[in-house]
Amino acid sequence: MITKIDHVAIAVRSLATAIEVYSRALGFSEWLLEGVSEQKTRVAMHAIGDCRIELLEATAEDSPVALFIARRGEGLHHICFQVQNLDVELQRLRSAGLRLIDQTARAGAGGSRIAFLHPSSAAGVLIELAEPGTTIHSHINLD
Ligand code: CO
């Protein structure tokens, strides 16, 4: 069962520029910065209630975020839904014939377990499912 939206991730060319824009336009002034080296990405996170917005910036030309922006431009990268039991959700999605990027759960940040559903099975949007660990926070990935 999906219990809430965990985070919404947006691919941007420049974290500094995007933070400035979101701060001025929406009053999002507090950001936590984090590097995700295995994804060659830097992330800026802003909490809204118990959900958060993540801005993703590539740190290398072959970063998944750089490839995404080259293909589709800046914009919505993925939506992460929190689930109670990821294994049950993956089985349900498979049974429904949906296309999974991750056939089984893999490790996310903070002890969470995550998996991605392919955009072709979700109206063009990359969907991340996350089962919380000790701290609720996950990372990013594409393709
Ligand atoms: Co994510």
Place of tokens 């740190």: 59
Predicted local distance difference test score (pLDDT) of residue 133: 83
**Measured in angstroms, how far is the CA atom of residue 60 from the centroid of ligand 1?**
19
Record the pTM.
0.87
| Structure tokens belonging to residue 46 | 């802003």
The yes-or-no verdict on residue 143 having pLDDT over 80 is no
**Measured in angstroms, how far is the CA atom of residue 80 from the centroid of ligand 1?**
6
Residue 108: name the closest of 89, 80, 88 by CA: 80
**Measured in angstroms, how far is the CA atom of residue 24 from the centroid of ligand 1?**
24
The yes-or-no verdict on residue 138 having pLDDT over 70 is no
Predicted local distance difference test score (pLDDT) of residue 142: 43
